[in-house]
Structure 1
């Protein structure tokens, strides 16, 4: 019997692409004032650079603009990006799914990787702390405990007072979201979003038990 459904955050409940776009809009606004450049131009360049490669986007932007910078300048931009309050919302299928689970008295939680400040800002933006029973940001446990490490699942089990075989984990990333089934009898569900990690390889070939096009598919599984 399913007593708890735990969700990944990025590209499962919210769009990571929309978050990135929001962050770049924030940075472009900041730099437009500092550099006396057009914000929309800066934002366009940032997004184009990211499409080519997600690495060192701020460095490459400043190189293009002919701006001298230091390592501390880049670190400041990274912190601005991570700490900004994002203009994001849940995917369209999330609210109805959560309402259904509440009606069935199924507990709901989130386990998410990522830097604490940025993840908390995302969660605050969608008011997740008011909705979910428990939320675990793995970076707050320590960098060694990001998924696929099982520690966050062990903590969630205790917090929700359920057994592993009464839990389902819903994610999108083949590289880390479904490996938990090799360690504990937690059934896993892959939601097939157009996310930025959708083409990653399965860790050790461990695949999800179920795959769904959207979260409405959860209704059929439980």
Structure 2
């Protein structure tokens, strides 16, 4: 990465970058247990624990289906749809790690801080609210508001941030966790890119084309301080 004194804008991803996304998932499973356990005739604990087991088995689109099958419960597409809706609309019990809060406070004194996050609404907005992070950022882009086609790796959100702040590409750095979608666009337009590979991240992948890879890889959010402060 270039001389940190040339950087003016530090842009973060949200999930598995500023907090462990697994915490959001567990919060959602708890909410589903509370609402749906009576409807399917099992205890709240049984449904919640089975959802967690299914998620641990594979964090794919069949987490809910697999959990209900493991419980021996008949289910319909409508029930799965209701569970998905509740999961995305629940108020998550998540918190910003103290290390992340400390880092953002220090960075805000030196840089413009912005946020780009993909994901369904209102889930992303509820995460931002629960984490209490709005005050750290000058500009927050939930790409769902732009339209699904503008989720990363589409470059639109990155161009919007640079244009709004009047930043050149070499003055911007994007910090995220998922090389399958996070770094292709900022790499292409000349931004600096940093990937966090914390063990709890659920999106770490390997064997991708070079254009998808970050300019620098670090082990945890705390390492940002050594690069930018």
221, 224, 228: which one aligns with 1:218: 224
TM-score by length of 1: 0.92
Q: Work out whether 1:88 is the aligned partner of 2:94.
A: yes
Residue from 29, 50, 57 that aligns with 2:55: 50
> SS at the partner of 2:18?
coil
Shift of 1:116: 1.9
Q: Which residue does the alignment assign to 1:146?
A: 151
- Aligned-pair CA distance for 1:8: 0.5
Alpha-carbon distance, 1:98 to partner: 0.9
How far residue 147 of structure 1 moved from its aligned partner, in angstroms, is 0.9
The 3-state SS of whatever aligns with 1:88 is coil
Structure 2 Cα separation of the partners of residues 100 and 16 of structure 1: 23
1:75-113 C-alpha deviation (Å, 9 max, x unpaired): 111000000011111234211111111222x01111111
* TM-score, length basis structure 2: 0.89
User: How far 1:200 moved relative to its partner?
Assistant: 4.6
2:196 aligned residue (184, 188, 191) = 191
The yes-or-no answer on 1:39 pairing with 2:44 is yes
Can you list the C-alpha shifts for 1:129-185, whole angstroms capped at 9, x where unaligned? 232111111121111111111101011112233222111000111112221244211
Instruction: For 1:43 and 1:153, locate their aligned partners in 2 and report how far apart those are by CA, in whole Å.
Output: 38
Seen in structure 2, the aligned counterparts of structure 1 residues 152 and 41 have a Cα distance that, compared at 3 Å, is: same
Contact 1:4–1:162 at 8 Å: present in 2 too? yes
2:170 is the alignment partner of 1:165: yes
Listed as ranges, the gaps of 5+ residues in structure 1 are: none
Q: Distance in 1 between matches of 2:112 and 2:147?
A: 25
Q: Which residue of structure 1 lines up, in the alignment, with residue 132 of structure 2?
A: 127
Q: SS at 2:173's partner residue?
A: strand
| Most deviating of 17-26 and 121-130 | 121-130
Does the CA-based 8 Å contact 2:152-2:182 persist in structure 1? Answer: yes
1:174-218 Cα distance to aligned partner (Å, 9 max, x none): 112221244211000111212111125434454212222222322
User: 2:225 and 2:140 mapped to 1: Cα distance?
Assistant: 22
Number of residue pairs aligned between Structure 1 and Structure 2: 221
* Structural RMSD (CA): 1.7
The answer to whether the 8 Å contact 2:180/2:205 transfers is: no
